[in-house]
Structure 1
Amino acid sequence: MSEARTMSRPTAVTDFEEFVAARSAALWRSAYLLTGDRQRAEDLLQTALVKTWRRWESIARREAVESYVRAAMATTYTDWWRRRWNGEVSTGDLPDTAPAGVGEAAGVEVRRDVLAALDLLPRGQRAVVVLRYFDDLTEQQTAEALGISVGTVKSQTSRALAALRTSPLFAEGDPS
Structure 2
Amino acid sequence: MSRDEEFGAYVAQRRPYLYASAWLLCGDPHRAEDLVQETLAKLYVAWPRVSRVENVDGYVRRMLVNGHIDDGRRPWRRERLTAEPPDAPAASDPYEDSDELWGALRALPAGQRRVVILRHYWGLSIQETANDLGVSVGTVKRQTSVALAMLRHVLATEPAATVKTTIGNLTGEPR
* TM-score category of the 2 structures, normalised to the smaller one: 0.7 to 0.9
Percent identity between the two aligned chains: 41
3-state secondary structure, aligned to 1:25: helix
Normalization by structure 1: what TM-score?
Answer: 0.80
* Equivalent residue in structure 1 for 2:132, among 145, 157, 170: 145
* Equivalent residue in structure 2 for 1:32, among 17, 20, 23: 23
Normalization by structure 2: what TM-score?
Answer: 0.80
Q: What does the per-residue CA deviation read over 1:111-140, in whole Å, with 9 as the maximum and x for residues that have no partner?
A: x21221012211110111111111112222
* CA positional deviation for 1:95: 3.4
Q: Aligned partners of 2:14, 2:120: CA distance in 1, in Å? A: 17
Counterpart check, 1:172 vs 2:158: yes
The number of equivalent residue pairs is 158
Question: Which deviates more, 82-91 or 124-133?
Answer: 82-91
One-letter amino acid of the counterpart of residue 160, structure 1 = A
RMSD between aligned residues: 2.2
* CA positional deviation for 1:33: 0.2
Unaligned runs of 5+ residues in structure 1 are 1-9
Counterpart check, 1:61 vs 2:47: no
Q: Aligned partners of 1:151, 1:172: CA distance in 2, in Å? A: 29
Change (3 A) 1:97 1:55: closer
* CA positional deviation for 1:92: 2.9
Q: What does the per-residue CA deviation read over 1:91-114, in whole Å, with 9 as the maximum and x for residues that have no partner?
A: 834435517xx632443xx1x212
Counterpart check, 1:159 vs 2:159: no
